[in-house]
Structure 1
Amino acid sequence: MSLNVPPRSTVPLANRQWGTSQETARCEAATPKEFEMATSAAGKAVKSGAARSPEDLEAEIDRLRDDVAKLTEQLTRTGEHSVSAAKRAASEGAEQLRVRGEAAVGVIKQNADDLEQQLTETVREKPITSLAIAAGVGFFLALLSRR
């Protein structure tokens, strides 16, 4: 099917007079394919609107309502799926953080126990040195607390 596309007009848009549905639908279509698509849609709308009965229009409206209801239902399901996927991802992330946190706490406790054991052994091996260090730390803290 071949269409004769009229040449582009040099009249500014504000000064144009649109007389037919094809001219209105064309509205500066860039290619013949776009022109064909625009004119066929406009022609169908004009032709089918004039020949339709009220029953046909009511049936079309009912069909459109059904389509909108189906789309609404699908969007709701998609939204619910997105929410459930987000909840699942958040709970998995929270679980991973909890496991990593528990592991870090375990490592810190083990390091603290090791440090306590080493300190206890050092104090038992060198009690005078340990007493001198404790006195020095106490003196230093006393100086800091005066200021």
Structure 2
Amino acid sequence: MASVSGTEKANGLAAEGRGKGNSDATVEDVQAELEKLRNDIAALTQTLASFGNGKLKEAGDRASQLGADVAEASAQYVDTARGSLAAAEQDLEAHIRSRPLQSVAIAAGIGFVAALLTRR
């Protein structure tokens, strides 16, 4: 068995390829194919970058919309709470006006209990 070098193998494969109807590949052909490949990779990179930027913008828009929705819901809850507190204040004021002595006694009792708790 004779040892065959890499160059001899490549020449043999090239000769086989020519025998099958393939044209001879020159250095210029290989360089042209590599340049085409580089251009294709560059185009693919640009396409992926633009796809990623589109997805990033879409996610940003969704986050902005979600933030706006949360802000609107929070404002509605604050308005509802203000309305409830205003109604409770009016009810308490009406109760105090209808029973002033009872209200003063309750306030004094609460003050006395608070004073006892803070002394300890």
Pick the TM interval, shorter chain.
0.7 to 0.9
Other-structure match for 1:89: 62
Write the distance in 2 (CA, Å) between the matches of 1:140 and 1:75: 71
Other-structure match for 1:98: 71
**Match status 1:143 vs 2:116:** yes
Other-structure match for 2:44: 71
* 1:36-86, Cα deviation, whole Å (9 max, x unpaired): xxxxxxx9xx959xx421111011111101111111001110110111011
Deviation at 1:89, TM superposition (A): 0.5
Write the distance in 2 (CA, Å) between the matches of 1:145 and 1:81: 62
Q: What root-mean-square deviation, in Å, do the aligned CA atoms of Structure 1 and Structure 2 show?
A: 2.0
| Structure 2 gap ranges (5+) | 1-12, 19-23
TM-score by length of 1: 0.65
Write the distance in 2 (CA, Å) between the matches of 1:61 and 1:125: 95
Other-structure match for 1:107: 80
The count of corresponding residues between Structure 1 and Structure 2 is 102
Opposite residue 87 of structure 1, the aligned amino acid is: G
Identical-residue share of aligned pairs (%): 34
Question: Of 17, 20, 32, which aligns to 1:59?
Answer: 32
Other-structure match for 1:127: 100
Write the distance in 1 (CA, Å) between the matches of 2:49 and 2:17: 36
Deviation at 1:145, TM superposition (A): 1.1
Instruction: Report runs of 4+ in structure 1 exceeding 2 Å deviation.
Output: none
| Structure 1 gap ranges (5+) | 1-42
Higher fraction of helix: 2
TM-score by length of 2: 0.79
